[in-house]
């Protein structure tokens, strides 16, 4: 599979994106599980949209999610210079560069939104991050991704107590790390917080690190251009309440800020992920009510 991924990554980006959009259309027309999950999530997150608007968003989202996967493979199999060539405009870079001056370190908030793999090369021009990394169950895919990471200045640490301690130490030394906080954490690592109108079990890691270190917290997103001509980086100044020692306030604020980031281009969010599988009161959006 490693060689297959490597050869696949050699195809031109426009060809890969065309293939991915075709795959997204198939996922929609075949009423796939990805479509069903995406529909449930979008119905819950955007109840104000009419049915036609929701259908259009579901179609666009499935195509975008497929493109994100192939774009990531392309980046993993290419040089950092290729990723940099795909970035056409950087918005509010000064927010990020100023945040890096904080002696308490900087945390980047990176939702599963857009093609986040593209921006690593740009970010690594300005800092040497420590990143939590969970190995893929597929050893060939894991080796393929790690080979890409080795080209950059990032230090990868495991997603356990050892890795968290390394990340905390790096922040205390004024370093940078990026965290994808919009997943379902383990029972010991989350609290219930509103996310798109759902009381979803939400990670507390970023909030705890921000409260302990009083580091800068900045939003990072990489959004595909509508004409597929490249990608734009967006750096977002986030509310200081994320640094609050009130954990509930911090996580609530973090979720609201992620919504604000995602709503710039909601079709590029990973809506096929079952984010609302664990809701307050033992509810699960994806299980029919008995």
Alpha-carbon distance of 97 to 228, in angstroms, equals: 27
Residue 58: is its pLDDT beyond 90? Answer: yes
Mean pLDDT value across residues 98-105: 97
Residue 54 pLDDT exceeds 80: yes
CA atoms within 13 A on the CB side of 160: 3
Helix, coil or strand: residue 233: strand
3-state secondary structure 137-159: CCHHHHHHHHHHHCCCCCEEEEC
Per-residue confidence (pLDDT) for residue 149, from 0 to 100: 72
The predicted structure's pLDDT at residue 290: 55
**pLDDT computed for residue 141 by the predictor:** 81
Write out pLDDT tens, residues 174-222: 999 999 999 999 999 999 999 999 999 999 999 999 999 999 999 999 9
Distance CA 242, CA 54 (A): 31
What's the Rg (C-alpha) of the chain? 19
Residue recorded with tokens 């990723």 = 83
- Mean of all residue pLDDT scores within the chain: 94
């Amino acid at each position: 599979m490693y060689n297959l991924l490597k050869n696949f990554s050699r195809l031109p980006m426009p060809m890969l994106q065309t293939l991915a959009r075709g795959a997204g259309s198939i996922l929609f027309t075949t009423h796939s599980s990805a479509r069903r999950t995406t529909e449930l999530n979008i119905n819950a997150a955007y109840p104000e949209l009419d049915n036609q608007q929701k259908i259009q968003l579901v179609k666009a989202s499935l195509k975008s999610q497929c493109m994100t996967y192939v774009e990531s493979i392309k980046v993993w199999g290419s040089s950092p210079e290729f990723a940099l060539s795909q970035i056409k405009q950087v918005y509010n870079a000064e927010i990020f560069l100023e945040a890096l001056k904080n002696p308490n370190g900087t945390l980047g908030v990176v939702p599963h939104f857009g093609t986040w793999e593209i921006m690593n090369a740009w970010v690594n021009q300005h800092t040497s991050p420590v990143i939590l990394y969970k190995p893929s169950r597929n050893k060939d895919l894991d080796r393929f991704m790690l080979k890409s990471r080795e080209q950059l200045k990032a230090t990868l640490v495991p997603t356990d107590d050892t890795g968290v301690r390394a990340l905390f130490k790096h922040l205390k030394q004024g370093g940078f790390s990026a965290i994808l906080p919009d997943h379902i954490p383990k029972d010991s690592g989350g609290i219930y917080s509103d996310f798109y109108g759902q009381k979803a079990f939400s990670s507390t890691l970023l909030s705890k690190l921000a409260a302990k270190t009083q580091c800068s917290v900045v939003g990072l997103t990489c959004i595909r251009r509508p004409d597929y001509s490249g990608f734009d980086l967006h750096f977002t100044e986030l509310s200081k309440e994320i640094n609050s020692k009130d954990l509930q306030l911090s996580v609530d604020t973090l979720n609201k800020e992620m919504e604000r980031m995602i709503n710039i281009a909601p079709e590029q969010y990973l809506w096929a992920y079952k984010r609302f599988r664990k809701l307050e009161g033992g509810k699960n959006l994806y299980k029919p009510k008995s």
